[in-house]
Amino acid sequence: MLAVNNELLPALAAALAQLAPEPYANGTVRAVLESPKVAAHGDFATTAAMQLAKPLQRNPRDVAQALRELLLAQPAFVRWVDAVDIAGPGFINIRLSAAAKQNTVREVLQAGAAFGARPSNGQRVLVEFVSANPTGPLHVGHGRQAALGDALCNLLATQGWNVYREFYYNDAGVQINTLGSSTHLRATGCKPGDPAWPETSYAGDYIQDIADDFLAGKTVAADDRSFTASGDPQDLDGMREFAVAYLRREQDLDLRAFGLRFDNYYLESSLYTSGRVDAAVQALQASGTTFEKDGALWLRSTDYGDDKDRVMRKSDGSYTYFVPDVAYHLAKWERGFTKVVNIQGTDHHGTIARVRAGLQAASQKLGLGIPSGYPDYVLHTMVRVVRGGQEVKISKRAGSYVTLRDLIEWTSADAVRFFLLSRKPDTEYTFDVDLAVAKNNDNPVYYVQYAHARICSVLAAWGGDAATLPQVDLSPLDTAPAQALMLLLGKYPDMLTAAATDCAAHDVTFYLRELAGQYHSYYDAERVLVDDQPTRLARLALIAATAQVLHNGLAVLGVGAPRKM
């Protein structure tokens, strides 16, 4: 239906420009086709007549009638529309012809995996996600972030963006020192519960694993670093570096099990060693937006909409955590990423205003032109895990939380991805392990994958050449069940565009569940492999197109589309 939309929208725009030249020119009304909330009202609708009533000083229904007449005279409406009706105070409901909906089937089959994708826009976008410090295994919250980030990257790629995936982590500081000291304690025989064990140390079993491998002189290699242990229990610096490399490798293994890759790993320490933090502070001071108070250096972030001014450098000379964030995002801009999306937990909400304030102050001084809303953020809540009707809070390996690897081992990477993307990221979510492995329609990922497998089984039973289906006569697809399924297929490209614009990967899961439900209803209503050959081929083309869209949508989520289940 993409071709149909591409004809109808300009036709609507032309009619609006003819009916109300000045309001259309100044943006009072735009050419937009919406989906009616009630399917019986039509396939598309526009509220343009009601928007024009006031500027034209006319009754909205009179405006709707005038607009209707102009639309019916447009060649695109003559070609693709069966009826244009006026409802209520001035709604215009549009009913597409069967040929318009059938055209979608041909579009899907011809485009294949590219259906719904837009051509390159020549622009780059950096998506930063997971960004877990290497102090322990990845937990379920990291899993939600991984699913969100990867799906958003795939979404943006469908809209023509050149996507760059980045993982940022702290490889120095208090947490890393604690990791090193915890490993040293285990290496010298001290363990959690002993009188000498500090409460602040990391107590998971993985710390003992690190200590044992260090003492054995092993080499660990992660995607971004490699280190060989000296085996000396008094080599504290070496033990700390080994522990970081060990946990980075563990994170890589988790992410590979999740089918995830990154283009770059960015180290917080590099911001200091390269002088970027000092340069950012100097730019902020030169901008006139800092001041000294109580022995500390402050940023006057209230000048940029923050609720209070923020400390940049504490009285002990150390920087607060948002300062390297400002330096990091200046580096992102200078690397050419004018669009950046950060996926983080809701506990980072308070940092948004101060990071943006710092960027604005530095940008004005340096003449960078960074927009005020840079970067974009997607914030997510944590995840509760329920198994056997009971909440699971502790992993034996991690010591205090359920790991991403636990969840994948209990269910599957496909289930974890789909489930973690099935709600808006800022809403609380409970992951039901038992539901994720259930083979019934209550399990959403099973429901969607089964629809794809079900279609594949019908196509296999037919045994014909699927390459011939784009050329078959589609006129037999004139029944209500077929029309409803085709209409939903046609909404896929616009759904992708809206989901990418809103950073709303969950919209893809909503759509796929609806499409699977529509297909199951169609399958129950109409037999596909009927004796009449034209009808059989047309219905085969329809279900093949449905399988293709299911496959494409699941690919955006990073979820497989099995041919058998």
Reply yes or no on whether the pLDDT at 169 is more than 90: yes
Mean pLDDT in residue range 41-57: 92
Is residue 20 within 8 Å of residue 48, measured between CB atoms?
no
At residue 354's C-alpha, the angle toward residues 272 and 349, to 5°, is 105
Reply yes or no on whether the pLDDT at 397 is more than 80: no
Q: Which domains does the chain have, with CATH numbers?
A: 2-96 (3.30.1360.70), 441-557 (1.10.730.10)
E strand intervals along 88-161 = 91-96, 124-128
Give the per-residue pLDDT at 123. Answer: 96
Reply yes or no on whether the pLDDT at 490 is more than 80: yes
Cα dihedral value 344, 349, 351, 355, nearest 10: 80
At residue 135's C-alpha, the angle toward residues 131 and 136, to 5°, is 95
Reply yes or no on whether the pLDDT at 246 is more than 70: yes
Model pLDDT for residues 318-336, shown as the tens digit of each residue: 999 899 999 999 999 999 9
For the sheet with 162-169, list strands across it. Answer: 264-267, 162-169, 124-128, 339-345, 376-380
Spacing of C-alpha 345 from chain mean position: 14
Mean pLDDT in residue range 343-363: 95
Model pLDDT for residues 61-98, shown as the tens digit of each residue: 999 999 999 999 999 999 999 999 999 999 999 999 99
Beta bridge partners of 168: 266
* Six-digit token string for 118: 């837009």
Model pLDDT for residues 269-315, shown as the tens digit of each residue: 999 999 999 999 999 999 999 999 999 999 999 999 999 999 999 99
Q: Which of 38, 43, 35, 52 is nearest to 89 (CA)?
A: 52
d(CA 210, CA 436): 32
pLDDT band (50, 70, 90) for residue 25: confident
> Which residues, at least 6 apart from 390, have a Cβ–Cβ distance to it below 8 Å?
none
Reply yes or no on whether the pLDDT at 398 is more than 70: no
Is residue 136 within 8 Å of residue 249, measured between CB atoms?
no
Any idea which residue has 């990967």 for tokens? 505
Model pLDDT for residues 471-486, shown as the tens digit of each residue: 999 999 999 999 999 9
Whole-structure pTM value = 0.91
d(CA 520, CA 547): 12
In the predicted model, what is the mean pLDDT of the chain?
Answer: 95
Give the per-residue pLDDT at 1. Answer: 66
The 8-class DSSP code of residue 232 comes to: -
> Which residues, at least 6 apart from 353, have a Cβ–Cβ distance to it below 8 Å?
301, 304, 305, 306, 307
Is residue 407 within 8 Å of residue 140, measured between CB atoms?
yes
E strand intervals along 73-177 = 81-87, 91-96, 124-128, 162-169
Helix spans in 164-204 (H):
174-187
Burial 509-548 (b: 16+ CB within 10 A, else e): bbbbbebbebbeebbeebebeeeeeebbbbbbbbbbbbbb
SS3 92: strand
